[in-house]
Structures are given as C-alpha cells and as structure tokens.
Amino acid sequence: MPSFARRVASFGTTIFTEINQLAAQHQAVNLGQGRPDFDGPPEIIDAAVRALHSDTANQYAPSPGLPELREGIARHAGVFYDLDVDPNAGVIVTAGATQGIFSAIMGLIDPGDEVIIIEPYYDSYVPGVQMAGGKPVYVPMHPPAWTFDADELRAAFSHSTRAIILNTPNNPTGRVYTRAELQLIADLCIEYDVIVISDEVYEHLIFEGHQHVAIASLDGMFERTVTVGSAGKTFGMTGWKIGWVYGMPELVTGVWRAHQFITFAANHPTQAAVAYAFTLGNSYYEEYQALYSHKRELVMQVINAAGMSAIQPEGTYFIMGDFSEVFDGNDVEFCKYLIEQIGVATIPPSAFFSEKHRKHAENHVRFAFCKSDETLERAAERMRRLRT
C-alpha cells in the first residue's frame, strides 16, 4: 500500500488542532490558539470589499506581491526601524508569516546546514528546517524570566551554522528581547557569517516600558537578516493569511525563488486591503496597544483567579501561567484537566520545545488573550473553581 513520505512521518497533528477539538467537545472557553474572537478594524474590511468589486483584484496578484503593499511594507520599515528597504527587490508578500518563514528556510538553507532555533519556538520552524534538509540546533530560554543563557547560545554557533531563527516579541513567553540580547546574537552572527530569519509578527504588540528592536537595524545586520511580518497579527485578520518577508535583495531573491513554487502569489483582494491598512498611521498602532494593555489586565485576573502565578508579558497576546501551586502533573495533563474539569482551554508549551528541553515548560500553560472581554471574564469565573 502506498503511504506518505518519510519527510512528514514525524509531524503528527498540531497541538492547536488537538486542543481545538477537545475544547469544542467540552464547550470550553478557548484561550488556546492565538485566534482573536473579534474582527480587525471595519475600515480595513471595507477596503477588502472594495477590492473584491474593483474588477482588478480577483485574478492572480503579481508573484512578489502588490506594488502598493510592498511599498507600504518598505515605508513602515523605514518609519519604525530606520531601514532602507527596496520595495521592488527587497519585499515578498506571502500567504501569512508561516509561508514567509517556510519560503525563507527553503530559499536560504541547504541540506546539512545547521540552523539555530531559540526555544520555545513557533511550531512551524522545526518542520520547515527538516523539510529543507537542515539540522535544528536548539537553545532554550529558561523560566521564570524566559531569558537565554549567553554561554549556551555561544556554544550553539559553529562554522556549520547557516542561520538562526528568532522570534521577538516572543510567542509563547511574552518576552521582548532587549537590545543587549539582540546585540549578543548579532555579534555571533557576524563572527560566524550566519543569516537571521527574524520573526517579528508581534512587532506592534508591545506594552509600556518595552521597545521592539528590529535586529536588522543593528550595525552590520541588515545584509544578513530577513524579517518576517504578518497582517494577521498587526491588523487583527488572521484568516486573511497575508504576511511578508523583507531584507537585502540578495537574500530576498532566494526567498522569492522558493515562494514562486510554493504558492506563486498570495491572495489578491486582501493584499489590497492590507496596503490600505499600512496608510492608517500611528494612531492605529496606539489604539491596538491600548486594547491589548486592557486585555493583559483581564488575563492577569484569569491567572490570579486560579491561584497560579505568571510574569506579565512585555509583548504579544500570550502569557505563560505557572500552575505548580495548584496541580500535580505535567503541562499536557493540566491542559486536559482544565478543558475537561474547569472548562477552559490553554496550550501545553512543551509542544514548543525540543524533546531535550521540554522540562523547562512542564509547569506552565500558555493562555492567549486575543479574546473579547466577555470571553476573558468568563474564563476568570471558571478558573476560580480551581481553588475550590
């Protein structure tokens, strides 16, 4: 009997699919997946509707992306990070950041290359590297502060290292890397001539007192970095699956060569709407941050209601709750218990670590707080049951 390729034999079902199914079965309040339960701004949706009726947007978009969207992405990188991005040769619009990351991996990594992955990681990185024939080399962040150890990072670099994949602001820890942390990574990348695939999809989800630093903006880094963004995250439209990759044309050409044969071009009408979204200006990002600062307070109430502890996230809409005071077992067992007995769904973060480093996360669960206030209040109410 024919069967699937060895390449995918170890992949299994993603943890999100598993948790979503279990949550639906038990009608749990779902704080699992980073999937907002409300829409992004109506004026951006209106722009998509206009595009659908414009007679120009219902056929293939240009393969690298709509020119006005590539210009918006380049302009945004100039305004926020002082980067000089070429909208024609230095930007590719992709089917979400996930495809941007995959295209970057396929376009920049050769079989046998080592790729450093900082853990916990977004779960597409490792299968992507494996499908390219690369070898993941893991560097864990450590609880409770979720920082990486400089010596462990240094030890991961060698002359076989081709690339490092990093994510700041970080899902699931809520950490925002400091300039000093990024400088350490940058110095090692320059010393070992390493490419950075920088996943910055939460670049605008930053809380007071913290600043997102784009690693491409550090001295000597633009020429060795491709930066990945997402309209799903920045404009609250995860279902549109529009993302992008930008950087120096020399590297972006590799990303584009892969992109052409993975999907050729991303969804056209929503690209037009995202181009419009990039014209909204600073007030949009300020309102977005205010909305999530409020939701961060509500999710802290969810954690406190349960008698759990957590460090306030510095960015993103995720928080890692430590359940060691309230439950005896590992993260997968606690997630199942929460869904089945308490009626709240979360994600076990051990899924975002290599086998060797799973223990770092085994007392934690990840809550997503991109949810309506009512959803978060309902979750807090249910979590109180944990104390009784």
Ligand X SMILES: Cc1ncc(COP(=O)(O)O)c(C=O)c1O
Binding site for ligand X (CB under 6 A): 34, 96-98, 122, 167, 171, 199, 201, 230, 232, 238, 243
Residue 352 beta carbon to ligand X: minimum distance, rounded to whole angstroms:
10
H/E segment holding residue 114: strand 114-119
Of 196 and 383, which has the nearer Cβ to ligand X? 196
Of 252 and 305, which has the nearer Cβ to ligand X? 252
Alpha carbon distances (Å) from 347 to 153, 249, 273, 281 = 26, 38, 31, 34
H/E segment holding residue 344: strand 344-345
Reference 347, options 27, 13, 25, 30; nearest CA is 30
Query: Phi and psi dihedrals of 127, rounded to 5?
Result: -60, -35
- Directed axis angle between helix 249-262 and helix 96-108, to 10°? 110
SS3 call for 287:
helix
Of 122 and 177, which has the nearer Cβ to ligand X? 122
Which residue's beta carbon is nearest to the bound ligand X?
96
Of 81 and 102, which has the nearer Cβ to ligand X? 102
182: left (phi over 0), alpha (psi -120 to 50) or beta: alpha
Asked if the peptide bond before residue 348 counts as cis, ω within 30 degrees of 0, the response is no
Residue 240 beta carbon to ligand X: minimum distance, rounded to whole angstroms:
9
Of 242 and 380, which has the nearer Cβ to ligand X? 242
Residue 36 beta carbon to ligand X: minimum distance, rounded to whole angstroms:
11
Q: CB–CB of 368/23 below 8 Å?
A: no
Q: How far apart are CA 273 and CA 49, in angstroms?
A: 8
The type of residue at 334 is: F
Return the structure tokens found at 3.
């069967």
Residue 31 beta carbon to ligand X: minimum distance, rounded to whole angstroms:
14
Residue 53 beta carbon to ligand X: minimum distance, rounded to whole angstroms:
25
Of 34 and 236, which has the nearer Cβ to ligand X? 34
Residue 202 beta carbon to ligand X: minimum distance, rounded to whole angstroms:
7
Of 232 and 321, which has the nearer Cβ to ligand X? 232
H/E segment holding residue 262: helix 249-262
Residue 139 beta carbon to ligand X: minimum distance, rounded to whole angstroms:
16
Of 95 and 335, which has the nearer Cβ to ligand X? 95
Reference 303, options 373, 370, 384; nearest CA is 384
Residue 234 beta carbon to ligand X: minimum distance, rounded to whole angstroms:
9
Of 199 and 331, which has the nearer Cβ to ligand X? 199
Return the structure tokens found at 297.
């307070």
Residue 207: HSE in the Cβ half-sphere, 13 Å Cα cutoff: 19
Of 266 and 342, which has the nearer Cβ to ligand X? 266
Of 128 and 243, which has the nearer Cβ to ligand X? 243
β-strand pairing of 225-230 with 195-199:
parallel
Residue 6 beta carbon to ligand X: minimum distance, rounded to whole angstroms:
26
Alpha carbon distances (Å) from 19 to 16, 222, 299, 350, 366 = 5, 38, 19, 14, 12
Residue 230 beta carbon to ligand X: minimum distance, rounded to whole angstroms:
3
Q: How many CB atoms lie within 10 A of CB 81?
A: 19
Asked if the peptide bond before residue 140 counts as cis, ω within 30 degrees of 0, the response is no
Residue 63 beta carbon to ligand X: minimum distance, rounded to whole angstroms:
18
Dmax over CA atoms of the chain, in Å, equals 60
Burial class (CB in 10 A: 0-12, 13-18, 19+), 152: middle
